[in-house]
Amino acid sequence: MLEATPETFDQLIQERDKLIVVYFWGTDCPNCDVFKAALPSMMPELSALPIRFISVDAYTHMDLARRFGLAGVPAFLLFRNGDRLGMMREFRGKAFFTSVLRENCPVVPPT
């Protein structure tokens, strides 16, 4: 997972033909820990999809959190080709999370 800062954020979300999932987190956040623990078990399913994960420490980079109106963490912003598609304001479990990501992935033409 790439780490974003205010200096790198806008460039990182511009990646073409991928769903960019920006994970805003913070220290001492129990729900962030739940997501971090669940992510490895979701990766076999998600690794086949055109997805890139980017993380932002919302407590260190409060300006980015404010930019998107975040009131708490974890929060997940979804981007494709630099355009914001939506936001999940919490981690609601593996099934919900992976279904939202699948629904928002770009269609990749067969090779």
**CATH number of the domain that residue 80 is part of:** 3.40.30.10
Q: How far is Cα 40 from Cα 36, in angstroms, rounded to an integer?
A: 8
What's the structural domain count of the chain? 1
Contact 39, 76 (CB under 8 A): no
Task: Provide the domain limits for residue 48.
Answer: 2-104
- Report if residue 58 sits inside a domain: yes
Q: How far is Cα 25 from Cα 48, in angstroms, rounded to an integer?
A: 25
Contact 74, 23 (CB under 8 A): yes
Write the pLDDT tens digit of every residue in 4-41.
999 999 999 999 889 999 999 999 999 999 999 999 99
Q: 93 pLDDT band (50/70/90 cuts)?
A: very high
pLDDT at 1: 87
pLDDT at 54: 97
The count of residues in the chain is 111
Q: How far is Cα 90 from Cα 76, in angstroms, rounded to an integer?
A: 7
- Report if residue 110 sits inside a domain: no
- Report if residue 111 sits inside a domain: no
pTM: 0.91
pLDDT at 108: 56
Q: 109 pLDDT band (50/70/90 cuts)?
A: very low
